[in-house]
Structure formats: structure tokens, C-alpha cells
Amino acid sequence: MLAGVIFYVALIALVATTILSAGLAMTRMTVTRMAQPFIAAGYQRALNSLQQTIAADVQSGVPFPTPTFAPLGPACANAACTYTTTETIALAQSASPTPGPSCDPGQTNCALNVQTNAYVSESRLSAVVTVTVSDARGAVIATRSLTAALRTFDAPPYVALAGAGESAFDDAGSRAIGDDGGAAPATPNPCASASAGVADDTSVRVAYRNEKTAACSDGSTWGNASYSSGAGASGWR
């Protein structure tokens, strides 16, 4: 009789523990889903700040590496401001990009067919952006990181986002993180009669126009830009 009672008590305890574990798992899943749009908005805020800072530095001729970034202060993540996000930005490179013509095996990534004309001097820069979501009490409910690759130029717009990826999902391959400078230009000569590129042609081309004769000459020169890209943190925390 006693053995039976003990068995049923143990069974009830096991069922209760299982239900509690399932409830906690569901709660974590709900929090994760709820935090996703907050994380996305935090990424956007940090990437905007990153691009503005890099553009200003390139325009003013600040040499590599650029200064460290101060953390972005709390911003309301929802209308009621019951959740906030904070962001940190850290450059993921310890050395300046290596120009081509060959890829540098000492760097982790190599962007092909970048514009090396002296007026453009296209290059690469990578940074890790980390977003933290907190509740009204200040308790952290989620943290997520991604690595962003930027194209830099010595001419306007000075910087452009080449790609971004979260290491938990996007670093399975050895390819650069969405780097869109790797394809050769669809029409390399900007003076050609059919000089317009195709929809996915993001290559920079240079043309010189004679002020008196209006003659066009191709000023493009192509090379590679090897750079190292650090990995963002993987998994939800």
C-alpha cells in the first residue's frame, strides 16, 4: 500500500515537473518571438549610426582604424516603452584591407572586382553589431549579434552596406557575408553604347568626360580587397 502511494506521488511529481518545463519552454519561445522585431529595429538603428560615422570619417580622411564607437543609449522598442534596446558596435578588423590583384590568404574575406581608381579607392570594412533587449525593470530578455560588411569609397556616398549576417544562420559557408562587390560588372566600359548595367550590377565604374570635346574615356581599374571579418555571437541569450 505504502509502495503504491509513493509510486503515485512520484508520478504526480514527474508530471508536474514535465508540465512546468514545457511551460517554461513555451515562455522562452514567446519571448524570443516577441523580441525579434525589437532586435531588427535595433540592428537598423546601429547600422545607420555605423554608416554615418564611417562616412564622416572617410570624408574627413581619418586613417584606419577608425575610432571606437560609444554604445547607443536605450531606445523604446514599443509604443508603451515597456521594452528598450541598446546597441554596441565594434570594428571586426585588426588590420587595414589588403589591396589586390591577388587575394591575401592572411585575411578571412576577399572582395573581387573593387574599383581601385584613385578618385574612388573602394575598400572594405566589417563590424559586429550587438543588440540587447531589456524589459521595464532593466532585465535583459534577449541579446543578438550580426556582422556587417561595408563598402567604403573616397567619393560620395563614401560608404554603402555590402551585406550583414547573423553567425547562427549565415556563417555556414566560407563566402563573404553578402558582399555584393564580388561579381564582375555587367558592362565594364562605362563609355560603351550599352553602358547600363543589369539589375544586380553594383560595381562602380569610372568615366572621364572631356569638357571641350565631350569625348568619353574609361577610367575604371579593378582589383581585390582582402579583409578580415569577425563573427557575431551565435544563438539567443
Distance CA 106, CA 94 (A): 12
Q: Are 85 and 188 spatial neighbours (Cβ–Cβ below 8 Å)?
A: no
Tell me, rounded to whole angstroms, the distance of Cα 78 from its chain centroid: 23
- pLDDT of res. 7: 45
In this predicted structure, what is the pLDDT of residue 114?
Answer: 85
Find the mean pLDDT for residues 46-61: 90
Contacts of 25 (CB under 8 A, 6+ apart): none
pLDDT of 118-146, one tens digit each?
999 888 888 899 999 999 899 999 999 98
Would you place residue 205 in the very low, low, confident or very high pLDDT band (cuts 50, 70, 90)? confident
- Model confidence at 75, in pLDDT bands (50, 70, 90)? very high
Provide the whole-model pTM: 0.74
Residue extents of the structural domains in the chain: 2-183+221-227
Closest alpha carbon to 57 in 129, 146, 154: 154
Q: 3-state DSSP call for residue 166?
A: coil
What is the Cα–Cα distance from 36 to 56, expressed in whole angstroms?
30
What is the pLDDT at residue 173?
41
Interval 150-182: pLDDT, tens: 888 999 999 988 888 775 544 434 344 655 555
- Answer left, alpha or beta for residue 132, where phi above 0 means left and psi between -120 and 50 means alpha: beta
Percent of the chain with pLDDT strictly greater than 70: 65
Provide the pLDDT confidence category of residue 13 given band limits of 50, 70 and 90.
Answer: very low
- Find the helix or strand (DSSP H, E) in which 202 lies: none
Task: State which amino acid sits at residue 161.
Answer: L
Give pLDDT, residue 217: 92
Give residue-wise pLDDT tens across range 14-46: 444 544 444 434 444 555 677 889 999 999 999
pLDDT at 115 over 70: yes
Strand partners, 126: 149
C-alpha torsion 53→59→62→66, nearest 10: 30
Average confidence score pLDDT of the chain: 76
Which residues, in sequence order, are bridge partners of residue 109?
Answer: 227
Given a cut of 80, whether residue 193 has pLDDT beyond it is: no
Q: What share of the chain is helix, strand, coil (3-state, %, to 5)?
A: 25, 30, 45
Q: How far apart are CA 7 and CA 107, in angstroms?
A: 62
Rg (CA), the chain: 25
pLDDT of residue 213: 93
N residues, the chain: 237
Query: pLDDT above 90 covers what percent of the chain?
Result: 29
Q: Nearest-5° angle of CA 98, CA 102, CA 107?
A: 45
Q: Which residue, 210, 64, 213, is CA-closest to 126?
A: 64
Distance CA 206, CA 223 (A): 14
Output the pLDDT for position 230: 61
DSSP codes of every residue in 105-154: TTSSEEEEEEE--TTT--EEEEEEEEEEEEETTS-EEEEEEEEEEEEE-S
